[in-house]
Amino acid sequence: MQTVNISDAKANLSRLVDLAANGEPFIIARAGKPLVKVIPLDPSPPAQARRVGFMAGQFSVPDHFDRIDGGKIEHLFGTDT
């Protein structure tokens, strides 16, 4: 693992961060004494996007669904009163 002096790390931070992000961690030292270890973060799992139409063809909705009156609803589902 590469050890980098703190002044060199300041001068080359962008390059060093790119190396660490690509799986090459490094240590930052001051006067030869290791201070910190820079390692890549575990990538978070991508959020699963909701897919429109993912259940297409698995069920059907009657054309008159939004026009069913209360009497038909009672007839379809019954009442417990």
- Summarised one tens digit per residue, pLDDT across range 21-77 is 998 999 999 999 999 999 998 766 667 777 788 788 888 877 877 776 767 777 778
Q: Are β-strands 33-38 and 2-5 bridged in parallel, bridged antiparallel, or unpaired?
A: unpaired
Q: Which residues on adjacent β-strands are paired with residue 29?
A: 5, 34
Quick one: pLDDT band at residue 7, thresholds 50, 70, 90? very high
Q: What is the DSSP letter of 50?
A: P
User: What's the confidence (pLDDT) of residue 44?
Assistant: 64
